[in-house]
Amino acid sequence: MLTPQEIKEKQAWRSMGLKDQEYERICEFLGRLPNYTELGMYSVLWSEHCSYKHSRHLFKLFPTKGERVLIGPGENAGAIDIGDGLAIVMKVESHNHPSAIEPYQGAATGVGGILRDIFTMGARPIASLNSLRFGDPRDENVRRLVRGAVAGIGDYGNATGVPTVGGEISFADCYRGNCLVNAMSVGLVRHELLTRATASGVGNPVMVVGSTTGRDGIHGATFASAEFSEEDEGELPIVQAGDPFTETLLIEACLELIESGVVVGIQDMGAAGLTSSSAEMASKAGSGIEMDLTVVPQRDEGMSSYEIMLSESQERMLVIPKAGAEDQVKAIFEKWGLHAVVVGRVTDDGMLRVFHHGEVAAEVPAKSLSTDGAPSYVPEAKRPEYLDELWSFDFNQLEDLKQEEIQDAFWKLLASPNIVSRRWIWEQFDQHAQLRTLVGPGSDAAVLRLPGTKRGIAITVDCNGRYCYQNPRVGAAQAVAEAARNIYASGGKPIAITDGLNLGNPEKPEIYWQLKETVQGIAEACEALGTPVTGGNVSLYNETDGEAIYPTPIIGMLGLLEDAEKHATIGFKNKGDLILLVGENKDELSGSEFLTVQHGLVAGPGPELDLELEKRNGEFCRSLIEKGLVSSCHDISDGGLAIALAECAMAGKLGARVKLYCPERRDSLLFGESQARYVVSLPEENYDALRGLAEKQGVSISLLGRVEGEEFTVELGEEKVISTRVSEMLDLWSSGLERLLGEE
């Protein structure tokens, strides 16, 4: 390793992703030149991935408090009170760059990492979801990435016994060189067992527990904070390898340890490994930590202090137990076949001091490594010029669909990569482990029962990146609104979100403007809908050869059902039921899947958004479900009204006869993506009660038709424009993704 003087002469910090002024800042903190291990520690913790140095100043815009928020941003995950002394712990985390290199392990370790964030809080993980973005699925490399990522998610989740109950996937050219793999996990915990990541109590032991430490994943955090380029090949870090069976043992050992009452603090070793866990825990407590790396269990021979401190080997935790409880901790972990080794102690001097083979390998102020010490930048913001072209598009120049063209357009949309069934994906996941799942993948939101109570939770992830590209602020707000519609349509009341902000390089003024607008949009929607932000993740520098992805703020949302049995799903249930539209169709095509599929266009500012209307229509649908007035409920999103109706028919394997009247354009009526809309079905005898509630609550409803047997027909005026059998739609739609991926 280079000496401190050689580091200075060769400007070695640059290869670690540090700026010249950041190196100078490190020298000021230390009052001397840093050695190689110390420089590596700063480089990972001051990376964007760990310090959010270009984004954290924006987070003050988020509403983070509420009557149900027990723990907000700043811990491993947020905790939300759901009554009866129970809390839900949840978080979204990205693993984009590793998945682009090695999709199976990148996605698998993404799942493992987010699970550790949950049980570190003392919560048992009860559900996982995922949000994925890829390029054109007909591209062979994209197919490789999809297959690998889906298999990694499925294999890791299935092996740990945590059901994967929902998720979403989208395809667009902008993700070709930079796929997105975001994982969400949800846990359940009693209030009194909620645990924080803090290293307090001078003299308390510091223990490494779980798996051994190897050379995998070194500088993973720095790598996740940089753009891709073709020139990077051969300089990429080794992606971490996950072991779900060890993770399963670790879950049980950690939960048993927390139940024992001897834990002062506990932190998983995610990005930056031992460096981040020790520095963050000490910084939060205002304490220091001394560690001897020589005794850290290692799987590779001859590891240096630099390698041990920066390793991102999986399935490891840092535990601060009460003094005197060391043997108890060891006994619990030995019972589960895992390591538990005392590697140091808590001190009162605020220093992170690391020994290796009897020598001081690093000695730095703990707070200087944390976000308290990390630099913070407010880049220049500039509205992108591409928006002028998008927003000035004249939709009047588009010729409306002729009546005889509508059926072909319908089939094209039904076969679109962004609309076809995701069955091929979710069939690889265990959806029913732990026996809590009432509604799994394929509906608007997953619904889980909670033990010992009538209550249930609804959970979903959502985002339309195209909307965000067209208008980052409104598009981000729409991601929150869409997630809320999924919750409302399932019978839940939205109560909190976690987010994963995926964007390009924030040092570019146009990208920073997108980031700023995205945060403001989420904040506005969360204020309007009463869903505080409990935490999340930022993944920036998602670019390849200078081309950025769409701004993609993934929204994970939690909803609460007072009675879990009073939930809804999307499928039509009974022949003869009436079909109603809740909300109003608008004459708009901007941002629609139809516009992209039919015309090859992304144009306009995206669909209009009215957050007050979103809440009013959503609460109305929730009340219908709670009162048992409707048989099914489905929000209208990608593909518009015609596709939503088809999805209801296919899910229920029942047809429908729908009659519409078209005052303006046919294409926008059938395939436009106006917001705040739902399709509901109900017995005819409930119609008067529903109509009365709609009038009382100021909600617009329209009668569309009836549920029928095997035929699915849509009429405009007196002419059938879509006419098919449900079985024909299912043949095309249900195996569409397999065909696109070449899996048939």
Query: Percentages helix, strand, coil for the chain, rounded to the nearest 5?
Result: 40, 25, 35
Average pLDDT rounded to a whole number, residues 691-712:
97
Q: Regarding beta strands 655-660 and 711-716, do their DSSP bridges make them parallel or antiparallel, or are they unpaired?
A: parallel
Q: Residue 393's CB: how many other CB atoms inside 10 A? A: 17
Average pLDDT rounded to a whole number, residues 530-537:
97
Q: What is the DSSP letter of 443?
A: B
Cβ(396)–Cβ(390) below 8 Å: no
Q: Which helix (H) or strand (E) holds 57?
A: none
Exposure on the CB side of residue 23, measured as CA atoms within 13 A: 22
Instruction: Go through 487-524 and write b for each residue having 16 or more CB atoms within 10 A of its CB, e for each that does not.
Output: bbbbbbbbbbbbbbbbbbbbebebbbbbbbbbbbbbbb
User: What per-residue confidence (pLDDT) applies to 229?
Assistant: 53
List Cβ neighbours of 72 (8 Å cut-off, separation of 6 or more): 64, 65, 78, 532, 533, 534, 535
Q: Can you list the alpha helix ranges (DSSP code H) found in 491-535?
A: 509-529
How far apart are alpha carbons 667 and 672 in whole angstroms? Answer: 7
User: What per-residue confidence (pLDDT) applies to 451?
Assistant: 85
Q: Which of 54, 95, 219, 356 is catalytic?
A: 95
User: What per-residue confidence (pLDDT) applies to 40?
Assistant: 96
User: What per-residue confidence (pLDDT) applies to 87?
Assistant: 98
User: What per-residue confidence (pLDDT) applies to 691?
Assistant: 97
Closest CA to 594 of 413, 716, 740, 414: 413
On average, the pLDDT of the chain sits at 95
Length of the chain: 744
> DSSP letter string over 573-608?
-STT-EEEEES---S--TT-HHHHHHH----SS-S-
Share of the chain above pLDDT 70, in %: 97
Q: Is the pLDDT of residue 4 over 70?
A: yes
User: What per-residue confidence (pLDDT) applies to 233?
Assistant: 46
Q: Is the pLDDT of residue 225 over 90?
A: no
Q: Which helix (H) or strand (E) holds 624?
A: helix 611-626
Q: Is 346 helix (H, G, I), strand (E, B) or coil?
A: strand
Q: Regarding beta strands 719-725 and 711-716, do their DSSP bridges make them parallel or antiparallel, or are they unpaired?
A: antiparallel
Span of 218-222, 320-324, 704-708 with lowest mean pLDDT: 218-222
Confidence of residue 272 (pLDDT cuts 50, 70, 90): confident
Cα–Cα–Cα angle for 320, 324, 327, rounded to 5 degrees: 85
Span of 286-295, 549-558, 592-601, 735-744 with lowest mean pLDDT: 735-744
Share of the chain above pLDDT 90, in %: 93
Q: Which residue has the tokens 């008067």?
A: 688
Instruction: Go through 699-724 and write b for each residue having 16 or more CB atoms within 10 A of its CB, e for each that does not.
Output: bbbeebbbbbeeebbbbbeeeebbeb
Q: Which helix (H) or strand (E) holds 572?
A: none
Q: Is the pLDDT of residue 222 over 60?
A: no
Strand ranges (E), 370-455 = 437-439, 446-449
Q: Residue 353: which region, alpha, beta or left (left: phi > 0; alpha: psi -120 to 50)?
A: beta
How far apart are alpha carbons 620 and 603 in whole angstroms? Answer: 32
List Cβ neighbours of 632 (8 Å cut-off, separation of 6 or more): 568, 569, 570, 571, 572, 573, 648, 652, 679, 680, 681
Q: Residue 141's CB: how many other CB atoms inside 10 A? A: 13
Would residue 49 show up in a list of annotated catalytic residues for this protein?
Answer: yes
Q: What is the pLDDT of residues 233-271, one digit of tens each?
A: 444 456 778 899 999 999 999 999 999 999 999 999 977
Closest CA to 400 of 585, 589, 586: 589
Cβ(73)–Cβ(442) below 8 Å: no
Q: Is 431 helix (H, G, I), strand (E, B) or coil?
A: coil
Q: Is 186 helix (H, G, I), strand (E, B) or coil?
A: strand
Closest CA to 49 of 271, 251, 268: 271
User: What per-residue confidence (pLDDT) applies to 308?
Assistant: 96
Cβ(616)–Cβ(696) below 8 Å: no
Closest CA to 548 of 607, 465, 479, 471: 465
Confidence of residue 435 (pLDDT cuts 50, 70, 90): confident
Q: Is the pLDDT of residue 226 over 60?
A: no
